[in-house]
Amino acid sequence: MFRHRHHNGLKTAGLFAAIFGLLLAVGGMIAAATSNSLFIWVFALIGLATTAYGYWNSDKIAIRAMRAYPVSEAQAPALHRIVRELSQRAGQPVPRIYVSPTQAPNAFATGRDPEHAAVAVTEGILGLLDERELRGVLGHELMHVYNRDVLTSSVAAAIAGVISSIGQFLAFSSLFGGDDERPNPLAMLATALLAPFGAMVIQLAISRTREYDADEDGARLTGDPLALASALRKLELGTRRAPLPPTPQLQNASHLMIANPFRAQDVSRLFSTHPPMADRVARLEAMAGHSLR
């Protein structure tokens, strides 16, 4: 929909190529270890099945994790007006609107396509941002749906899950295989440990590139990059004051949120689903400066 100055789409494609290459390398290792490629297909089918379920029900899973409830236009007129205006500007259906009863300031959008999308904000973000900043945040979140980022993250999660499953099988084979004709057990064990780690790092890097794209596209949709930059500054401080607990349910939904909802000590930069706020703000400010020239 938009041309990106920072080539985030190319970075995402490159990361997908890397994770596919890792999958092929690990698959080759297990085929050599077992002299049978059937196990690769079994793991792949399991990964695809679980990912298809998560993708098809992504809106329900995230909303349930955040305990969000639907709000009518009478209950949240400004929220409905902003979402409706931005959806119409993008030429897309208006998504369902939810509010999460938590003071941790955040927002997310999910759904397998624009026809089945939902956008949710927390009570904390409604109290923290003004309407202009909230519009910037909602533009960002809607672009996640319009860019099919839920599909992108689901595919990356599927491949990473398959690699992790294969890694576990390799670890078992290296310890109990006992066949001298098979590959070096130490090499297999190293692959079993390092491949899932590498797949996870690449998966998280894909998530970070999608955040940059949603920032750029959302700012273009609203026509106000500085509003989103201002919102991100407030969200960085707000999530520090009111972080969410890193429970498994929230960890699975955290990549959908506009700001990392956890404390900084709970997640390192390498394992973060979000780019540093300072980088995102700097890009948006540069974008605003470029549009004013």
Active site residues: 141
State how beta strands 118-122 and 69-70 pair. unpaired
* Helix-helix angle 8-34:149-176, to 10 degrees: 30
State how beta strands 118-122 and 96-100 pair. parallel
d(CA 279, CA 157): 25
Exposure of 88 by Cβ count < 10 A (0-12 exposed, 13-18 middle, 19+ buried)? exposed
What are the residues facing 119 on neighbouring strands? 97, 109
Identify the three-state secondary structure at position 95. Answer: coil
d(CA 283, CA 177): 52
Give the Cβ contact number of residue 229 at 10 Å.
23
The CA-atom distances, in angstroms, between 218 and each of 39, 85, 104, 177, 234 are 43, 13, 22, 52, 17
Beta-sheet strand order (sheet of 69-70): 69-70, 96-100, 118-122, 107-110
User: Greatest CA separation found in the chain?
Assistant: 72
